[in-house]
Structure 1
Amino acid sequence: MFFKKKEFEIVSPMKGRLIRIKDVPDDTFREEMIGKGVAILPEGNEIYAPASGTITTVFPTAHAIGLTTKDGIDLLIHIGLDTVNLKGEGFAVKVQTGEEVQAGDLLLVADFEKIRQAGYRLESPLIICNPEVCKKIVYSDPAFVNPGDVVMKFLK
């Protein structure tokens, strides 16, 4: 019996410029230590769910949210670089751990001007933390994106 490969999409969680993860000025993300993905240089303050699934982690510092899709993909939405040091300042989380979300649901509002003024970079990685479960990952080319635009596709 032959099984057809399924293609799944991950969409942009925010408005901004899509960039390659290798262009992010942070070794942890650039060297894919956490997983594979892309990053967005934001131009808006709202962060939306990049896929439907369950919120698995809301970091106490509100700078990152983990989500597991219905297809078993673990995603990390990380807002800015080194923003853990802000200890939650500039972030308003709109979801909680265990909550079911649909792609496009509002997850968080970030005050990117406040984050920038505090001296932090705004590049925001979107990472597949368990890429080994994907047969193939295809990344969209760098471009301006809006929430809901496809930024990654994967075969499972």
Structure 2
Amino acid sequence: MSTFFTGIVAGVTEPILYGIVTKYKRTFLPIIIGGAISGGLIGALQVKQYAFAFAGVLAFPTFFGTTFWWYVLGVLVSIMISALIVIFFGFEDKEKTKKTPNEPSNEGVKIKEYQEKKDASEDVYSPLSGEVVKLEDMNDGVFSSKDMGDGIAIIPSEYKVYAPIQGRITNFLSSKHAIGITSDNGAELLIHVGIDTVKLKGKYFTAKAKEGDYVEVGDLLLEFDGVKIKEEGFELFTPLIVTNTSNYSAIQISVDKKTITNGERLLTLLP
């Protein structure tokens, strides 16, 4: 519901992208299909917009005119088609394993190991060297509001990103500015280099790892040209977000100084 509100009402889609689509990748194709059909319909009906605004309910007044109701129809078509495809085909990629009747089960061992991990706190290490900044001090409403999760931000002094936990890269956007990692203990982290740097479409970013890679703390994931990114007018605030914050009783900042070096303990996740 939180991503529905920010997406439909305000036109801010990052919570949908990072909170849902990156976790349930099968939702991506229905979004494309619904958007393509709706866009084709709106274009064919020559819908007119009379002022620029981010797409969302609050932008509806910019479409007031003779083609307004065609625009409303296009929006409804997009939502209905995407939703129906997801409802019909599902949204989870479930791995199915077959087991012979006499094969011994280690389910009890796995449950015990999972419970031990779940009951333990987990340390998260700094992915960058630079100045430590609280999320609420960032000049970006999506991160400062903590809608995507709790965490912290760093203004980098060195333009390299390292793995903050031991686990697997679950998402590495083609624009290379954002990396999702899931730790062995189940922590889901998002490293987002810069503010609105998705607009660079990968320019000035060099990936040193790829989606699906298993990484250890301190492994190099990404290099970027911070000087040129700033010359393009983008801020380099780099938030480190725990996207499954609700799984923890608290997210503690483990550093009490203004600057940090990559590899130093930065956050502690309490069960």
Q: TM-score range by the shorter chain?
A: over 0.9
What stretches of structure 2 of length at least 5 have no aligned partner? 1-115
Q: Give the TM-score normalised by structure 1.
A: 0.95
Aligned-pair Cα RMSD in Å: 1.4
Q: Give the TM-score normalised by structure 2.
A: 0.55
State yes or no: 1:12 paired with 2:136: no
State yes or no: 1:59 paired with 2:173: yes
Taking CA–CA contacts closer than 8 Å with sequence separation of 6 or more, which of the two structures ends up with the larger relative contact order? 1
What does residue 134 of structure 1 align with? Answer: 248
- Residue aligned with 1:29, SS: helix
Which 4+ residue blocks in structure 1 deviate beyond 3 angstroms?
none
State yes or no: 1:110 paired with 2:224: yes
Q: Which has the higher strand share?
A: 1
What does residue 97 of structure 1 align with? Answer: 211
CA contact (8 A) 1:78 1:124 kept: yes
CA contact (8 A) 1:10 1:50 kept: yes
Give the letter for the 1:91 counterpart: F
Counting only pairs closer than 5 Å after superposition, residues 22-33 of structure 1 correspond to structure 2 as 22-33=136-147
Give the letter for the 2:152 counterpart: V
Distance in 2, Cα, partners of 1:141 & 1:30: 20
Partner deviation per Cα, 1:50-94 (whole Å, 9 max, x = no partner)? 101000001111110000000111100000100000000010011
State yes or no: 1:87 paired with 2:184: no
Distance in 1, Cα, partners of 2:182 & 2:227: 29
What does residue 146 of structure 1 align with? Answer: 261
User: What is the percentage of aligned positions where both structures have the same residue?
Assistant: 37
Q: Using the TM superposition, give the Cα deviation of residue 135 of structure 1 relative to its aligned residue in structure 2, in angstroms.
A: 2.0
Give the letter for the 2:259 counterpart: F
What stretches of structure 1 of length at least 5 have no aligned partner? none
Q: Which has the higher helix share?
A: 2
Q: Number of aligned pairs? A: 154
Larger Rg: 2
CA contact (8 A) 1:65 1:78 kept: yes
Partner deviation per Cα, 1:102-143 (whole Å, 9 max, x = no partner)? 010000001100100000001000000000111221113351
